[in-house]
């Protein structure tokens, strides 16, 4: 394959059938990640960012299911693989880091055993080799005296150290892609800085691509190459991180940036986006952002915009088309 | 202003220890002593009327314990809390000043846990009115509840609903309405926005500022988010392992932080302008408060620590605009703070 696209998501739609009708958690999402690239996915709670990640790695909780669309890893479709096939990919080719490091580790097993199990599942190594590799991985993620700490249980580690172990687990089989779902949200800022630096360094060294799901724009700004802003299950804007932050095209992105308290200069009032994200069972007709949008016009209430080119980015907003015509 | 301002709240040498020892029999059998956590270890600060004072720090630094001590949810182990000239010590003493109790209210972090799910919003907001007997007839109470709800941006009709019918941001508005019902002058806000999304956080912060201007409220604001603290506060105190390591007015603190811990915190914040630039990673983690380091508790992580820092607890030195507890500052060993590129 000559295509540099490691992961391609095409028109992904994730549905949750419920007694009161079908909820669409992810609606027509298309994105790509190249090898070694960090794609940030931001949005507020319920925007569908974690769902997108879970769909890619094949861990949607039933009754959630992929209703349509395709997910391709290295040109191969992975969204319709049977369970045992997907298990081989998960961990080996796609690693995962979740928000809460305490619940992603089994409290009853020593961290060494958890690492060794993962390594031996995916790589053709014997117990002793796997153990050496586990120690090496723990050293890589910055755990002091790794050879001894390998015999500790998760509760003997602090939150930041646990997240390091989780990163070591995710990297254990040298996957090509890591889905990191809010990896630093549960951590203090000083520890957050350490973890982000670590994640960046390791991915550069191993050439791993990362899909970084977070609600923290600051983390995205310093880590990601490109960023996708999600709103109500759809991509509102996607593009190079500098362009999206400095020259947002979608009013939601603009609002989101203004809402972040800044440390430079002092404003009396933060820009606020009135109202709240619609519930999944009450997504408005047309553009889902129209009830909160200060610039909404008649077309926004009628038709749903798809991402269209806007500068170096793509934005799903009719204003972009309006401007292009003027 | 030449007028001498009398602080509304003065906290002096406030201490609170928690006994986290194993049960007596285990201690005897395992030959272990008692273990004591010094959650708050001699904190001093003042808050003037109409001001917002913020406490920042990482998890476990004791900032929430300070909040709970001030509103009387915990009893101080030592030290005093003085509210407008009245000593409000432990809770039993506080009962003698019912008026003071009502003038202080608290807003909690988790809007999902701080509202009783089985009460209607109207009853939740009316509870302080009924408890403090501010209003007696139910028509007047309903009217007041309606006013309070509109004041925080909800509809008076929402009084009939239950908390689960609201989103996180709306629930936090209900908490604020409930806190305002007692007609307080002083609000203790313990991480009021950390459970909320940024756009909703902006709404709540704007609302709190608006209410402060309209009602002349004084806030003690607890947060771990320095950007939020910079936005809301007039003065900031930085806590580390139960001690206040530096305090100053907001502008001064953010323009020229002195304490190495404050500098570390400021360095650690990701910034929107930082694209591609790495933060200075900080070595180490917050030590266990069960077994805090000797001397200055920050010394194991401090790049400027010397022998004296390991031995001696630094005292707070007054500096321009505030105070700082650091030997390096006292001995003039502090490197200049790189002024951040102002945009």
Q: pLDDT by residue (tens digit) across B12-42?
A: 999 999 888 888 888 888 888 888 888 899 9
Mean pLDDT on B217-236? 92
Contact criterion met (CB below 8 Å) for A31 and A46: no
A-B C-beta contacts closer than 8 Å? 134
Partners of residue A44 in chain B, C-beta under 8 Å: 197-200
Distance from CA of A152 to the nearest CA of B (A): 18
B225, B270, B274, best to mutate vs chain A, most A CBs in 10 Å: B270
**Binary contact (B230, A268; C-beta < 8 A):** no
Backbone angles phi, psi at B6, to 5 degrees: -90, 125
**For residue A82, what are its two tokens?**
């049977």
Partners of residue A269 in chain B, C-beta under 8 Å: 206, 209
Mean pLDDT on A37-55? 90
Pairing of strands B322-324, B243-249: antiparallel
Residue A199 binned pLDDT confidence (cut-offs 50, 70, 90):
confident
Q: What is the ipTM of this complex?
A: 0.78
Specify burial of residue A270 (Cβ count, 10 A radius: 0-12, 13-18, 19+): buried
Q: For chain B, which domains are there?
A: 9-246 (3.40.50.300)
**Binary contact (B202, A271; C-beta < 8 A):** yes
Mean pLDDT on A201-219? 88
What pLDDT shows up at residue B327? 92
Contact criterion met (CB below 8 Å) for B96 and B163: no
Q: Is B291 within 8 Å of chain A by CB?
A: no
Contact criterion met (CB below 8 Å) for A304 and A284: no
**Binary contact (B201, A219; C-beta < 8 A):** no
pLDDT greater than 50 at residue B341? no
Determine the Cα–Cα distance for residues A236 and A319; give it in Å rounded to an integer: 12
Is the alpha carbon torsion for B148, B152, B156, B161 positive or negative?
A: negative
Specify burial of residue B214 (Cβ count, 10 A radius: 0-12, 13-18, 19+): exposed
Determine the Cα–Cα distance for residues B251 and B283; give it in Å rounded to an integer: 27
Distance from CA of B255 to the nearest CA of A (A): 10
Low-confidence winner among B69-73, B129-133, B230-234, B279-283 (lowest mean pLDDT): B279-283
Q: Note whether residue A198 is domain-resident.
A: yes
B57, B199, B287, best to mutate vs chain A, most A CBs in 10 Å: B199
Determine the Cα–Cα distance for residues B49 and B7; give it in Å rounded to an integer: 7
Specify burial of residue B212 (Cβ count, 10 A radius: 0-12, 13-18, 19+): middle
Partners of residue A219 in chain B, C-beta under 8 Å: 270
Determine the Cα–Cα distance for residues A231 and A26; give it in Å rounded to an integer: 10
Residue A218 binned pLDDT confidence (cut-offs 50, 70, 90):
confident
What pLDDT shows up at residue A324? 72
pLDDT greater than 60 at residue B278? no
Q: What is the CATH number of the domain that holds A214?
A: 3.40.50.300
Q: Is B274 within 8 Å of chain A by CB?
A: yes
Q: Tell which residue, A218, A171, A179, has the closest CA to residue A198.
A: A171
B232: closest chain A residue by CA: A268
Q: Tell which residue, B38, B56, B63, has the closest CA to residue B238.
A: B56
Report the alpha-carbon angle B270-B272-B275, nearest 5: 85
**For residue A237, what are its two tokens?**
């804007």
Range of the domain at A29: 5-93+175-285
CA B34 to chain CA centroid, nearest Å: 29
Distance from CA of A7 to the nearest CA of B (A): 23
**For residue B128, what are its two tokens?**
């302080």
**For residue A282, what are its two tokens?**
């009450």
Low-confidence winner among A179-183, A217-221, A279-283 (lowest mean pLDDT): A279-283
For chain B, the average pLDDT equals: 86
DSSP code at position B6: P
CB within 8 Å of A72: residues ≥ 6 apart? A5, A7, A8, A9, A10, A78
pLDDT greater than 60 at residue B274? no
Contacts with A, B 213-232, CB within 8 Å: 224-228, 230-231
Q: Note whether residue A297 is domain-resident.
A: no
Which comes out higher in pLDDT, residue A216 or A52? A52
Q: Tell which residue, A7, A38, A50, A32, has the closest CA to residue A202.
A: A38
Backbone angles phi, psi at B313, to 5 degrees: -75, 125
Query: Could you report the per-residue pLDDT of B199-209, keeping only the tens digit for each?
Result: 888 989 999 99
Q: Note whether residue A135 is domain-resident.
A: no
Distance from CA of A102 to the nearest CA of B (A): 16
Please give the C-alpha separations between residue A192 and each of A195, A224, B109, B182, in angstroms, as whole numbers: 5, 15, 21, 39
pLDDT greater than 90 at residue B147? yes
Q: Tell which residue, B244, B188, B299, B226, has the closest CA to residue B61.
A: B244
Backbone angles phi, psi at A128, to 5 degrees: -65, -40
Contacts with B, A 78-97, CB within 8 Å: none
Q: Tell which residue, A205, A209, A204, has the closest CA to residue A180.
A: A209
DSSP code at position B66: H
Distance from CA of B279 to the nearest CA of A (A): 7
Q: Is B197 within 8 Å of chain A by CB?
A: yes
Partners of residue A229 in chain B, C-beta under 8 Å: none
Determine the Cα–Cα distance for residues B193 and B206; give it in Å rounded to an integer: 11
**Binary contact (B282, A270; C-beta < 8 A):** no
pLDDT greater than 70 at residue B301? yes
Determine the Cα–Cα distance for residues B45 and B244; give it in Å rounded to an integer: 9
Q: Is A144 within 8 Å of chain B by CB?
A: no
Predicted model pTM: 0.84
DSSP H helical ranges for chain B: 24-30, 63-71, 91-94, 98-103, 121-131, 138-151, 168-181, 198-215, 226-232, 250-255, 260-268, 307-311, 327-330
Q: Note whether residue A220 is domain-resident.
A: yes
Q: Total structural domains in chain A? A: 1
Q: Which of B58, B200, B203 sits opposite A190 (nearest CB)?
A: B58
Contact criterion met (CB below 8 Å) for A220 and A229: no
Q: Is A273 within 8 Å of chain B by CB?
A: yes
Residue B46, Cβ neighbours under 10 Å: how many? 17
């Amino acid at each position: 394959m000559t295509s540099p696209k490691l992961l391609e998501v095409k028109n992904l739609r994730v549905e949750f059938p419920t007694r009161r009708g079908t909820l669409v958690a992810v609606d027509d999402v298309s994105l790509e990640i190249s090898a070694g690239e960090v794609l940030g996915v931001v949005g507020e709670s319920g925007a569908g960012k974690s769902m997108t990640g879970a769909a890619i790695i094949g861990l949607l909780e039933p009754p959630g299911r992929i209703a349509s669309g395709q997910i391709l890893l290295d040109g191969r479709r992975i969204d319709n693989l049977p369970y045992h096939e997907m298990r081989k990919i998960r961990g080996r080719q796609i690693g995962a880091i979740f928000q809460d490091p305490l619940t992603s580790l089994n409290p009853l097993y020593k961290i060494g055993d958890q690492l060794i199990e993962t390594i031996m599942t995916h790589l053709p190594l014997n117990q002793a080799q796997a153990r050496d590799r586990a120690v090496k991985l723990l050293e890589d993620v910055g755990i002091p005296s790794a050879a001894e700490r390998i015999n500790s249980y998760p509760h003997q580690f602090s939150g930041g150290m646990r997240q390091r172990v989780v990163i070591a687990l995710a990297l254990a089989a040298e996957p090509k892609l890591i889905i990191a779902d809010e990896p630093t949200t549960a951590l203090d800022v000083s520890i957050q800085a350490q973890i982000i630096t670590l994640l960046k360094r390791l991915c550069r060294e191993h050439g791993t691509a990362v899909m970084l799901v977070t609600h923290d724009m600051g983390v995205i700004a310093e880590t990601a190459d490109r960023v996708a802003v999600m709103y109500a299950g759809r991509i509102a804007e996607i593009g190079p991180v500098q362009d999206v932050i400095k020259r947002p095209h979608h009013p939601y992105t603009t609002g989101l940036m203004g809402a972040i308290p800044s440390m430079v200069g002092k404003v009396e009032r933060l820009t606020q986006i009135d109202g709240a994200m619609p519930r999944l069972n009450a997504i408005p007709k047309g553009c889902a952002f129209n009830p909160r949008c200060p610039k909404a016009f008649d077309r926004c209430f009628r038709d749903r915009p798809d991402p269209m080119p806007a500068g170096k980015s793509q934005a799903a907003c009719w204003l972009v088309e309006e401007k292009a015509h003027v | 202003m030449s007028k001498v301002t009398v602080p509304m709240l003065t906290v002096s040498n406030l201490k609170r220890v928690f006994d986290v020892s194993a049960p007596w029999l285990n201690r005897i059998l395992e030959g272990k002593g008692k273990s004591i956590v010094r959650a708050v270890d001699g904190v001093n600060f003042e808050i003037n009327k109409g001001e917002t004072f913020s406490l920042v720090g990482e998890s476990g630094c004791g900032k929430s314990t300070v909040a709970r001590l001030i509103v009387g949810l915990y009893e101080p182990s030592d030290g005093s809390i003085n509210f407008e000239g009245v000593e409000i010590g432990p809770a039993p003493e506080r009962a003698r000043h019912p008026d003071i109790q009502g003038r202080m209210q608290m807003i909690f972090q988790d809007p999902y846990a701080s509202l009783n799910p089985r009460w209607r919003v109207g009853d939740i907001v009316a509870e302080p009115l009924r408890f403090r007997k501010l209003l007696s007839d139910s028509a007047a109470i309903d009217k007041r509840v309606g006013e309070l709800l509109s004041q925080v941006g909800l509809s008076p009709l929402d009084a009939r609903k239950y908390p689960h019918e609201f989103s996180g941001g709306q629930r936090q508005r209900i908490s604020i309405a409930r806190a305002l019902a007692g007609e307080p002058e002083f609000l203790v806000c313990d991480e009021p926005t950390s459970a909320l999304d940024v756009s909703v956080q902006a709404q709540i912060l704007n609302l709190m500022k608006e209410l402060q201007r309209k009602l002349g409220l004084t806030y003690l604001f607890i947060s771990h988010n320095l950007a939020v603290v910079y936005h809301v506060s007039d003065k900031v105190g930085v806590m580390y392992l139960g001690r206040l390591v530096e305090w100053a007015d907001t502008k001064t603190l953010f323009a020229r932080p002195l304490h190495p811990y404050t500098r570390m915190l400021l360095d650690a914040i990701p910034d929107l302008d930082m694209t591609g630039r790495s933060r200075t990673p900080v070595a180490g983690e917050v030590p266990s408060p069960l077994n805090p380091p000797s001397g200055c508790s920050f010394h194991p992580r401090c790049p400027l620590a010397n022998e004296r820092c390991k031995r001696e607890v630094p005292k707070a030195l007054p500096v321009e605009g505030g105070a700082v507890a650091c030997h390096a500052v006292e001995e003039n060993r502090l490197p200049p703070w790189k002024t951040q590129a102002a945009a």
